Amino acid sequence: MAKVMLEVKDLTTKYITRFRENVYAVDHVSLKVEEGKSLGIAGESGCGKSTLALSLMGYYFPPLHYTSGDIIIDGTNISTMKPDEIRKKILGQEIAYIPQAAMNALNPTRKIINLIEDVIQAHDPKAKKKEIYDLAVERFEVLGLPAEVLQKYPVELSGGMKQRTVIAISVILSPKILIADEPSSALDVTSQKMVIKMLLDLMEHGFIKSMIFITHELPLLYNVTDDIMVMYAGQIVEKGTAAQTVFDPLHPYAKGLMGSIIVPERGLRDVKLTAIPGVPPNLKNPPHGCRFAERCRYVVPECKVHPIEMLHIADNRHYRCIFSEEYLRKAYQND
Amino acid sequence: MTDEKKSCLRGSGLTKIFGLGQKKTVAVDHVDFNFYAGEIISIVGESGSGKTTLAKMLLGLISTTEGEIYFEGKLRDISTQKKKREYWKGIQAIFQDPYSSYNIFNKIDTVLLDCIKMRGGGRLPHAKKIEMISEACSFVNLKFEELTNKYPFELSGGQMQRLMIARIFLLKPKVLLADEPTSMIDACSRATILDMLMALRKETGMTLIFITHDIGLAYFVSDSVYIMEHGKLIESGTADEVILHPKKAYTKRLINDVPKIHEEWDLSTVKVSSIWNEA
């Protein structure tokens, strides 16, 4: 069995609003990423995808606070570590994070090579400039980025180029896991493809051991990741391989999401788009039962009585619904 | 031109040049098109291809450098503010960013009452106006009672975007220009917005022009598709012709680069050599 790079057990994190209300944006999330594998997280805006990404790093800024659960990176539990320790030993080295507008994170007054020196020296103050330069050139060459980029200022680069440079910098210390939060949503399709190619290259060359990819674009996830998790209102509602989640979703919400996919393919025009009515619940006061019940077309009164547990129907295949697999499949077929 | 296909918007030699001399940028370069009434049209291009500039010219928000626009067969005249207002009764738009589409000092009531006024209903009794507004709001799943006396910033992005559609419902223009209406929202809400636009079109029979970079969307909704590259319309035809049998290399690349689910997404075509070739 492959080595587990990241294991998260029952992680719960909350936002505390200025009115002292608790908003549990990540609610008992468990996941596991093995070496050489990638995991995709899908869901609509506000479902907690990005909060989960931030929580996984174990480094919390107010108003985000840790509540309970374990984050284990390659055998080390980081959830009990002090923020300073995490900053020095974990971030960048063990776990790297690419935020949504990563390309805006480049300091415009410094050359790319200076930014790389900063990252490396933050973890190893004795690192020599020459060594850093050699490492950067080597790394950029493997990733298909021209070495001349190193001597440029960020403004001299195009959007797609900047994004790829940021990714290359953030993984310069070869972290065990890379968390990419919508790394390509601000780019046009061609640049997006280059970014994706680069992420896959990183995995192939072993610069990163595993990856978590967050986006709301399902066709993209399907092409990039091995497994896909669907998140709704802070909870995981479905998990399976990419093909299972996209072509055979079980949870009604996941089914609804798959019904909104638009890709320029033959036969698309005959597809009926399904819009999910309503809006997600307010997490300040989430419903006691199934959180999707208000918007679900298969809802029965029992849905709203007890919190719904995750059902394990096979290895690496889970969903959170009171109905059986057979019942749901049949219901989808009849529609 | 046949009887059943009436020309709605026609442009000939439409050009927009920004700047002068060395800094001259040709944003839209001698574009010819003919949009028929009642059709759904998509103009597809990457960022910087000039599609939004073209949209703004069609709306009369910026002047044209060269070329003519014909609205319903007649050369459009927007030389004075009054004539412009008259033109805008026929053509309206929804923009990408709902937050910047409203006058922040006007209440929602004012926004919607203005629409009725524009349609010539300024002298209707107040109760009748409120009834019309309520109908428009319920069309987009909003409740007017919850919106009344509010300012735009008090609404969420989704509510604002739907309110834009409610405006169109009241205005009933002949042409609706939707400039990236779904690019800032996720796939799930996209279906909702599209459903509303389609229902609205069914009701009013208006011509819908989508300006988008989302090829999937263009293929899904439109009757005809125009591909724009560097200010030129390089390819046009029915959606099936253009998307399934593209002729130009640019169109092929564009379609090829979109991730798909039933067909293979070919990553081997990605070429990265110099920093300049993708700018």
The enclosing H or E element of A117 equals helix A112-123
Residue A87, min C-alpha distance to chain B (Å): 33
Helices (H), chain B: 51-59, 81-90, 108-118, 126-139, 144-147, 157-171, 187-204, 215-221, 239-244, 249-256
Helix, strand, or coil (residue A68): strand
* pLDDT of A125: 87
Q: A193 in contact with B at a CB cutoff of 8 Å?
A: yes
DSSP letter, residue A91: B
**Mean of all residue pLDDT scores within chain A:** 89
User: What residues pair up with A228 in beta bridges, in sequence order?
Assistant: A40, A240
Predicted pLDDT of residue A277: 82
β A64-73/A235-241 pair status: unpaired
Cα–Cα distance measured from residue B147 to residue B162, given in angstroms and rounded to the nearest whole number = 12
Cross-chain CB nearest to B261 (options A144, A200, A261) = A261
CA distance B165 to chain A (A): 17
Supply the pTM of this predicted model.
Answer: 0.86
Q: What angle separates helix A112-123 from helix A129-142, to the nearest 10 degrees?
A: 110
Q: Between the CA of residue A172 and those of A137, A178, A205, B161, what are the distances in Å?
A: 11, 11, 13, 41
Judge whether residue B105 has pLDDT over 70. yes
Closest-CA residue of chain A to B159: A279
pLDDT of residue A188 exceeding 90, the answer is: no
Whether A300 has a pLDDT exceeding 70, the answer reads yes
Give the separation between CA B231 and CA B216, rounded to whole angstroms: 21
Helix, strand, coil percent content, chain A, rounded in steps of 5: 35, 25, 40
Number of residue pairs across A and B with CB atoms under 8 Å? 132
Number of Cα atoms under 13 Å in the Cβ half of residue B212: 24
Of B186, B190, B258, Cβ closest to residue A263: B258
Q: Which of A251, A265, A284 is nearest to A46 (CA)?
A: A284
Instruction: Average the pLDDT over A194-223 and give the result.
Output: 91
pLDDT at B277 over 50: no
Q: How many residues are present in chain B?
A: 279
Q: What is the pLDDT of residues B4-40, one digit of tens each?
A: 678 889 999 999 999 888 888 899 999 999 999 999 9
- What is the DSSP track for B1-29? --SSS-EEEEEEEEEEEES-GGG-EEEEE
Contacts of B270 in chain A (CB under 8 A): 193-194, 197
pLDDT tier for residue A212 given thresholds of 50, 70 and 90: very high
B136 forms beta bridges with none
Is this prediction's ipTM beyond 0.95?
Answer: no
What is the 8-class DSSP label of residue A235?
A: E
The four Cα atoms B261, B201, B190, B9 give a dihedral, to 10 degrees, of: 80
- Nearest-CA distance from A282 to chain B in Å? 14
**Integer angstrom CA distances of residue B47 from B50, B51, B114, B248:** 8, 8, 33, 18
Q: Which two tokens stand for residue A31?
A: 């996941």
Residue with tokens 């995750």: A310
- The rounded distance, in Å, linking the Cα atoms of A52 and A273 is 29
**Percent above pLDDT 70 for chain B:** 95
Question: Are the CB atoms for A102 and A144 separated by under 8 Å?
Answer: no
Mean of the per-residue pLDDT values for chain B?
87
Six-digit token string for A80: 């009990």
Q: Which pair of structure tokens corresponds to residue A115?
A: 């930014």
Q: Give the model confidence (pLDDT) of B185-235 as tens digits.
A: 777 778 888 888 999 999 889 999 999 988 988 999 999 999 999 999 999
Q: What is the DSSP letter of A94?
A: T
Residues 6+ apart with CB under 8 A from A228: A39, A40, A41, A42, A218, A221, A222, A239, A240, A241, A242, A245, A246
- Please judge whether A264 and B279 are an interchain contact, meaning their C-beta atoms are less than 8 angstroms apart: no
Chain A window 79-118: which residues touch B at a Cβ cutoff of 8 Å? none
Average pLDDT over residues B244-272: 84
pLDDT at B274 over 70: no
CB contact under 8 A, A194 and B272: yes
Residue B271: per-residue pLDDT: 63
Please name the residues between 13 and 72 in chain A that touch chain B, using a CB distance below 8 Å.
Answer: 44-45
Position B275 confidence tier, pLDDT thresholds 50, 70, 90: very low
Residue by residue, DSSP assigns A187-204 as: S-HHHHHHHHHHHHHHHH
Other Cβ atoms less than 10 A from the Cβ of B146: the count is 11
* Domains located in chain B, CATH noted: 7-269 (3.40.50.300)
Q: Is B279 a residue whose pLDDT tops 80?
A: no
Q: Hey, what's the torsion of the CAs at A278, A235, A259, A306, to 10 degrees?
A: -70
- Contact criterion met (CB below 8 Å) for B127 and B179: no
* pLDDT at position B156: 80
> What residues does B14 pair with on adjacent strands?
B31
Q: B176 and B92 in contact (C-beta within 8 Å)?
A: yes
Q: Check CB contact of A242 with chain B, cutoff 8 Å.
A: no
Lowest mean pLDDT among A181-185, B175-179, B239-243: A181-185
Please answer whether residues B266 and B256 qualify as being in contact, where contact means their C-beta atoms are separated by less than 8 angstroms.
yes
Binary contact (A219, B261; C-beta < 8 A): yes
Please check whether the domain covering A4-109+153-334 is classified as CATH 3.40.50.300. yes
Share above pLDDT 70 across residues of chain A, in percent, rounded to a whole number: 100
Segment A248-252 mean pLDDT:
93
Residue matched to tokens 């899904």: B220
Average pLDDT (B70-95) is 90
| Short-list A71, A87, A88, CA closest to A32 | A71
Type and span of the H or E element at A54: helix A49-56
**Domain residue spans of chain A:** 4-109+153-334
Q: Looking at residues B114-137, what average pLDDT do you find?
A: 90
